[in-house]
Amino acid sequence: MCGLEIQVDGGRVSRIRGNQDDVWSRGHLCPKGVSLGALHDDPDRIRKPMIKVDGQWREVSWDTAFRRCTELLQPVISRYGIAAVSSYVGNPTAHTFSLGRYIGLLLGMSGIPTSYSSGTVDQWPKNLTSHLMYGGWWTIPVPDIQRTDLLVIMGANPAVSQGSLLAAPNINAIIGDIRSRGTVIVIDPVRTATAAKADEWLPITPGTDAALLLAVIHTLFDEDLVRLGAAGEYIDGIDTMRAVAADWSPQRVAPATGIDAERIRRLARQLAGADRAVVYGRIGLCTQEFGSLASWLVDVVNILTGHFDTPGGAMFPRATAWSLTTRQLPGLEGGRSEFGRWRTRVRGAKEVLGQTPVSCLAEEIATPGEGQVKALITVAGNPVLSSPAGHDLDAVLPTLEAMISVDCWLNETTRHADVILPGLSPLEQPHHDDLLLQFAVSSVTNYSPPVFHPCDPDRPGEWEILIRLTGLCTGTPAEDVDVAALDDGFFDVLCYLQDLTGADIRKHYDSGGPERILDLTLRTGPFGDRYGENPGGLTLDQVKAHPNGIDFGPMVPQLPGVLSTPEAKVRLAPQYLLDDLPRLAARLDRRPDELVLVSRRHLRSNNSWMHNVGPLMKGKDRCTLLIHPDDAAVRTLRTGDSVVVASATGRLEVPVEVTDAIKPGVVSMPHGWGHGKAGTRMAVANSSPGVNNNILAPPTFVDEPSGNGAVNGIPVTITAAR
C-alpha cells in the first residue's frame, strides 16, 4: 500500500524509495517494498507456464499449458463430477491486482462446491462475529489509531506486520504519537517489537483473552461505567450482556489469564475514562482456541465504553472502491446464523460462512468414497507450510489425479502440481488495492501503472487464467474458453449488484479485465460519479491523473447505514456466541499446560513466500524458539542449543533463544519455514530452510464456533536434542 518511487536503469530497478508525496504513506516504506526489484529479478520466479511430464518439469507455451489443464481435469470431472474438484486460495490473493478482483469468479462460477483458504487460519472468527453482530461478514470495525489517546493492542504486532484488518501508514510513528498524548498497552504473551514501543506490556496466558475481556465487561457493569454514546440507539442486547458478564469477575479469571484482578479492573476504568480509546485484537486473538469469543468481546468492550463508530474508537471505513467481499453471502443475508448447512465428509466439521477448516483438506483427499477430492486448484497459496499439520497435506498431494497451481514459485506446495500457471510480477502489472483498502483508516485511492512490460506480450494476466480455469470447470476446454464473454458475464453481475445494467455500462469501455472492474467499483463507490449521475465524482481516469493518490479523509460515523441486520441494530450478544461460553468456563478450570507454543512474524518475511528474496534473508537465523530463562534453566538450555519440540501431532528440532521477552510457560516460533524440500526451486530459501512449526499444530485444534485453526496455545514439550 505504500507509495513507491522506482528508479529504472537499463530495464532493471536501480533503486526503490518511499514516495514522499504519496497521500497515504508520505515516504514510509518497509523492507519488503524496497525489495520488489529483487523479487522481480529472482531467477527462481516462474515466468513461463510449466507442466510435469514423467516427473520432470518442462516450460511450455500458454496454449500447451491450458491444454494440459484440460487433459487433466476433464476426465476427473466426467468420472466423479465437479465435487471431486476443490481449490485452496492463499493470502496474496488479497493483495494482487487481478486475483483479488477475479477470485470471486472462480469461487462463484466454477461450480466447485467446497473450497479452502488461508482465511480459516486467519480472520474467520472476525468474519463470523461481524456477520452475527452487524449482518456483514466483512463489516469489520477498524481501530481509528490516528485519532485515539488510548490504544490497547491484543494479539497483534503491527510494528512488524504493519497491521492486519487495519491499514494505516507508518504504524510505528502512529504509536509514538499516541504515546506523546496518551497511552499504548500491549496484551501479548510476548514482549514484541510493538510491546517494546508501548507504555505497558501485560503478558497473558495464550487463549485466555476472552476471559480477560469478559472480566473487563463485568467491571464496566459492576462499577456503572457503561456509556454507549451516540451509537447507543443502535445497540441491542445490553441486558443480556450484563447478565452474561455477571459470572466473570476479575478474581475468577485472574489465575487463568495471569493478569492481576486489580489490573483488569483498572483496564476497564482506563477504557471507560478516556475520551478516545480503542481495543484492537488480531491474529493472536483469532488463531487461538477461543478465537470467536475473543474477537467478539473486543467489539463489545469498544461498544460498552462508547468508543464505537466515533473518532478515535472502532469505526467502519469507507473504501473508495468496493470489493466483492462487501456483499452478503447467499443464503445468509441479514446476519442469519444457520451454520452447519452441510458438514465435511470425513470429520463432520460444520460449514461456517461457507468454509470448513483448511486442516480438513488432507483427509478429504486421503479418504476414499463418494465425494473424495481428486483434483485441486491452488491459487497463491502454500498450505504445506501454512496450514495446521501441513505435513499431512504434503503426504497426500501426490495422490491427486490432477493438481493445478496458479503461483509464481516452485515451492513446498506447488512441487506437487502437474501444471503451474505463473502470474506477472508486481512490477509488470498495475496496482490499486482491493481488499486491504476496506480496512484503511482513511479513504484513499492510489493507482500505479506497471513499471515493466511483461517479457512475453502474450502472457495472460492472472484474471485470464482464473477465467479459463472457471470455464474448464464448467465444461469448456481451457484453451477454448471465450475469455471476453465470461469476463463480460462477471462484469454484468457486478453491475447488477449496483442496480445497473451491464450491457449499458459496458458501452463505456473498449476492453475488459481488472481495470474495467476497478473503474466500476470506484465510480459506484461512495465518492464515484455513478456514470454521470454524480457529476465531478470519482473515476479511474481521475485517480490516474493523481499519481500521488487522492485522500477523501478519515473515517466518519456510519451507523446505522453500515448495518445489514434486518432490524438495523447491532446485535451485542448473539446466541451462537453465548453458546460457546461453557467451553471457556471449562478452560478456566483446566490444569495449566506445562508449555504452550505461539507463533510470531518477522519484518522481513511474508508468511512463507518472501524467503527467496536475498536482501530480505540477510542477518541471523530467524527460525528459532523463544523461551523464558526460567523454562530454559530447568532444562539446562542456553541460547543456540538445539531442542526437540513435540506436540500431539509431531516433533521438530530447532535452536533456542533464551529471552525474558516472553511469559514463562510460553515458547514462540515463526511460521512459514521448513524449506529445503526436494523438487523445489527456491535457492535462497532452501539455503536457510528452518523448520515448519505447523507440524506441531493438531488439525482438530480449532476455535469451535468458526472452525478457525488454533495455531497459538499448542501444548508442547521440550527436551534438549541429542
Ligand X SMILES: Nc1nc2c(c(=O)[nH]1)N[C@H]1C(S)=C(S)[C@@H](COP(=O)(O)OP(=O)(O)OC[C@H]3O[C@@H](n4cnc5c(=O)[nH]c(N)nc54)[C@H](O)[C@@H]3O)O[C@H]1N2
Q: How far is the CB of 294 from ligand X (least distance, A)?
A: 7
Would you say 155 or 574 has its CB closer to ligand X? 155
Report residue 353 as a C-alpha cell: 460462512
Measured at CB, which residue is nearest to Mo ion? 122
Q: How far is the CB of 638 from Mo ion (least distance, A)?
A: 34
DSSP code per residue over 649-708 = S-EEEEEEEE-SSB-TTEEEEESS-----TT-B-HHHHHS----GGGGS-TT-EETTTTE
User: In 547-593, which ranges are continuous DSSP H helix?
Assistant: 575-578, 581-588
Query: Which one of ligand X, Mo ion, none interacts with residue 160, CB within 5 to 8 A by kind?
Result: ligand X
Question: Exactly one of 310, 599, 680, 706 binds ligand X (CB under 6 A); which one?
Answer: 599
Report residue 178 as a C-alpha cell: 499516541
Report residue 357 as a C-alpha cell: 477448516
Question: Exactly one of 25, 139, 192, 344 binds ligand X (CB under 6 A); which one?
Answer: 192
Rule CB under 6 A: is residue 187 a binding residue for ligand X? yes
Would you say 160 or 303 has its CB closer to ligand X? 160
* 351 close to 340: Cβ distance less than 8 angstroms: yes
Would you say 220 or 596 has its CB closer to ligand X? 596
- Strand 442-445 and strand 550-554: the pairing is antiparallel
Could you tell me the CA-to-CA distances from 182 to 168, 178, 270, 278 in Å, in that order?
18, 5, 11, 12
Query: Which one of Mo ion, ligand X, none interacts with residue 389, CB within 5 to 8 A by kind?
Result: none
Measured at CB, which residue is nearest to ligand X? 284
Q: How far apart are CA 539 and CA 320, in angstroms?
A: 10
Give residues in contact with Mo ion (CB under 5 A): 122
Backbone angles phi, psi at 57, to 5 degrees: -80, 140
Q: How far apart are CA 131 and CA 51, in angstroms?
A: 41
Rule CB under 6 A: is residue 204 a binding residue for ligand X? yes
Select the span of 53-61, 142-150, 206-214, 300-308 touching ligand X (CB under 6 A): 206-214
Q: How far is the CB of 321 from ligand X (least distance, A)?
A: 19
Q: How far is the CB of 38 from ligand X (least distance, A)?
A: 14
* 183 close to 189: Cβ distance less than 8 angstroms: no
Would you say 304 or 697 has its CB closer to ligand X? 697
Query: Which one of Mo ion, ligand X, none interacts with residue 571, CB within 5 to 8 A by kind?
Result: none
DSSP code per residue over 556-568 = ---TTTT--STTS
Question: Exactly one of 694, 695, 706, 708 binds ligand X (CB under 6 A); which one?
Answer: 694
Please list every residue from 110 through 149 that binds ligand X, using CB under 6 A: 118, 121-122
Rule CB under 6 A: is residue 284 a binding residue for ligand X? yes
Residue type, 404: I
Q: How far is the CB of 33 from ligand X (least distance, A)?
A: 11
Question: Exactly one of 101, 218, 516, 601 binds ligand X (CB under 6 A); which one?
Answer: 601
Query: Which one of Mo ion, ligand X, none interacts with residue 608, CB within 5 to 8 A by kind?
Result: ligand X
Rule CB under 6 A: is residue 49 a binding residue for ligand X? no
How many residues of this chain bind ligand X (CB under 6 A)?
64
- Cell 483488569 maps to which residue? 264
Q: How far apart are CA 158 and CA 507, in angstroms?
A: 44
Select the span of 254-262, 310-318, 402-410, 574-582 touching ligand X (CB under 6 A): 402-410
User: In 372-429, which ranges are continuous DSSP H helix?
Assistant: 383-386, 390-396
Would you say 66 or 609 has its CB closer to ligand X? 609
Query: Which one of Mo ion, ligand X, none interacts with residue 423, CB within 5 to 8 A by kind?
Result: ligand X
Would you say 205 or 708 has its CB closer to Mo ion? 708
* 349 close to 699: Cβ distance less than 8 angstroms: no
Report residue 5 as a C-alpha cell: 518511487
Q: How far is the CB of 282 from ligand X (least distance, A)?
A: 3
Q: How far apart are CA 530 and CA 521, in angstroms?
A: 10
Rule CB under 6 A: is residue 156 a binding residue for ligand X? yes
Select the span of 71-79, 248-256, 279-287, 549-557 touching ligand X (CB under 6 A): 279-287
Please list every residue from 76 through 105 that binds ligand X, using CB under 6 A: 90-92, 96
Angle between helices 581-588 and 250-257 (to 10 degrees): 70
Question: Exactly one of 316, 409, 447, 490 binds ligand X (CB under 6 A); which one?
Answer: 409
User: In 162-260, which ranges are continuous DSSP H helix?
Assistant: 171-181, 193-197, 209-222, 238-245, 250-257
Would you say 29 or 505 has its CB closer to ligand X? 29
Query: Which one of ligand X, Mo ion, none interacts with residue 18, CB within 5 to 8 A by kind?
Result: none
Rule CB under 6 A: is residue 603 a binding residue for ligand X? yes
Q: How far is the CB of 379 from ligand X (least distance, A)?
A: 6
Binding mask 656-675 for ligand X (x = CB under 6 A): ------------x--xx---
DSSP code per residue over 68-92 = HHHHHHHHHHHHH-GGGEEEEE-GG
111 sits in the region (left: phi over 0; alpha: psi -120 to 50; else beta) called left
Contacts of 601 (CB under 8 A, 6+ apart): 157, 160, 161, 670
Q: How far is the CB of 473 from ligand X (least distance, A)?
A: 18
* 213 close to 235: Cβ distance less than 8 angstroms: no
Q: How far is the CB of 130 from ligand X (least distance, A)?
A: 16
Q: How far is the CB of 701 from Mo ion (least distance, A)?
A: 18
The residue among 145, 186, 173, 163 whose CA lies nearest residue 276 is 145
Report residue 589 as a C-alpha cell: 478450570
The residue among 392, 215, 390, 192 whose CA lies nearest residue 304 is 215
In the three-class reduction of DSSP (H, G, I as helix; E, B as strand; rest coil), residue 505 is classed as helix
Stated as kind and residue range, the H or E segment containing 521 is helix 514-523
Question: Exactly one of 178, 268, 274, 283 binds ligand X (CB under 6 A); which one?
Answer: 283
* 311 close to 555: Cβ distance less than 8 angstroms: yes
Q: How far is the CB of 429 from Mo ion (least distance, A)?
A: 22
Please list every residue from 422 through 461 that binds ligand X, using CB under 6 A: 423
Q: How far is the CB of 129 from Mo ion (least distance, A)?
A: 17
Query: Which one of Mo ion, ligand X, none interacts with residue 206, CB within 5 to 8 A by kind?
Result: ligand X
Query: Which one of Mo ion, ligand X, none interacts with residue 257, CB within 5 to 8 A by kind?
Result: none
Rule CB under 6 A: is residue 158 a binding residue for ligand X? yes
Q: Which residues bind ligand X (CB under 6 A)?
A: 90-92, 96, 118, 121-122, 154-158, 160-162, 164, 187-190, 192, 204, 206-207, 209, 282-285, 287-288, 380-383, 386, 406-409, 411, 413, 423, 462, 598-603, 605-609, 668, 671-672, 693-694, 697, 711-713
